[in-house]
């Protein structure tokens, strides 16, 4: 049985249509004091339940709604409960950078477990170690095949260089490089630990002169990092620059920055809803629903999710 929260029901409907099942009718509302109420309007006893929720802003509200849905399923005797969070909430708070900081990604995993979740499913976790935060199976899906298929169809990969926007994304860029058979370049940058969302680009490591540069990342938030990276690449002779990222967070000035940037195209998936006012001409949105639908089917049939990605996880 498939369930959806109110954050992005369109994605859940697309997944349900692909699987040829109906979403369970759900009554969900917020009381005057902002407390959330959820009730499922048919029996869920003995079901294999998949609770789909996209965690766009306001993140805390949608996390709480999903936790309440999981709790309702547990108390209604669902046999197994899988949390489907295409964009894992608080994923960037996966370790301590300084003393007296939380590890909020671990807290989220604990909350899901305490609420009654048996399993987690997410797409492109910000850090692979998050899989170890949850005491149970975690299906880590990759959007790379979806994004790479579009890039192959639209661009000549023989003149392309894959670029990691920072040292932390090198493994992701390496996977792209293997997938497309392209050379790799890395942008060395430093963040100011005391100022949020500010980046200074330092140096480009690798040959980008006269190349089509594909900047890859797991998410685009305020777009400051990736737009500065594009400028650095063009300044060093890149013929053109495109971007591919899984999660279109697009906070604050992101839309304006990307629209005014040097990118030819910005390719993302629909793990998060993009309201009309956040869309722009250079944006291409690919559907992640077929991938999630296949993964849910494999879990339901006790098949292999890893087989969808040639053994990677």
Encode pLDDT of 60-101 as tens digits. 999 999 999 999 999 999 999 999 999 999 999 999 999 999
The residues annotated as belonging to the active site are 189
DSSP-derived 3-state class of residue 92:
coil
pLDDT at 191 > cutoff 90: no
pLDDT tens by residue, 245-265: 999 999 999 999 999 999 999
Q: Is the pTM of this model over 0.85?
A: yes
Residues 6+ apart with CB under 8 A from 9: 23
Q: Give the C-alpha separation, 79 to 58, whole Å.
A: 30
Residue 188 pLDDT level (bands cut at 50, 70, 90): confident
pLDDT attached to residue 193: 64
pLDDT at 190 > cutoff 70: no
Q: Give the C-alpha separation, 197 to 17, whole Å.
A: 38
| CA end-to-end span of the chain | 25
Average pLDDT over residues 204-231: 94
* Peptide bond connecting 169 to the previous residue in cis, omega within 30 degrees of 0: no
Q: Please, what is the average pLDDT of the chain?
A: 94
Residue 152 pLDDT level (bands cut at 50, 70, 90): very high
């Amino acid at each position: 049985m498939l369930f959806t929260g109110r954050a992005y029901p369109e994605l859940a409907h697309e997944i349900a249509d692909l699987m040829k099942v109906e979403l369970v009718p759900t009554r969900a509302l917020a009381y005057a004091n902002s407390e959330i109420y959820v009730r499922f309007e048919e029996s869920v006893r003995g079901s294999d339940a998949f609770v789909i929720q996209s965690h766009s802003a306001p993140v805390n509200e949608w996390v709480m709604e999903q936790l309440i849905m999981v709790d309702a399923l547990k108390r209604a005797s669902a046999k197994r409960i899988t949390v489907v969070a295409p964009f894992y909430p608080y994923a960037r708070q996966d370790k301590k950078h300084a003393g007296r900081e939380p590890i909020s990604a671990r807290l989220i995993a604990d909350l899901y477990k305490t609420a009654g979740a048996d399993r987690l499913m997410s797409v492109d976790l910000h850090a692979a170690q998050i899989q170890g935060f949850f005491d149970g199976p975690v299906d880590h899906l990759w959007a790379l095949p979806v994004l790479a298929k579009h890039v192959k169809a639209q661009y000549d990969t023989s003149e392309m260089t894959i670029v990691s926007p920072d040292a932390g994304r090198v493994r992701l860029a390496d996977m792209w490089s293997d997938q497309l058979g392209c050379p790799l370049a890395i942008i060395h940058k430093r963040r100011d630990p005391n100022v949020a969302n500010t980046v200074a680009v330092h140096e480009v490591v690798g040959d980008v002169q006269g190349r089509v540069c594909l900047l890859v990342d797991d998410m685009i938030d305020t777009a400051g990092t990736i737009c500065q990276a594009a400028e650095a690449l063009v300044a060093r002779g890149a013929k053109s620059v495109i971007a591919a990222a899984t999660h279109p967070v697009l906070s604050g000035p992101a839309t304006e920055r990307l629209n005014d940037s040097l990118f030819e195209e910005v390719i993302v998936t629909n793990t998060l809803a993009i309201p009309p006012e956040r869309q722009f001409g250079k944006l291409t949105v690919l559907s992640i629903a077929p991938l999630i639908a296949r993964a849910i089917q494999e879990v339901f049939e006790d098949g292999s999710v890893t087989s969808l990605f040639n053994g990677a996880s």
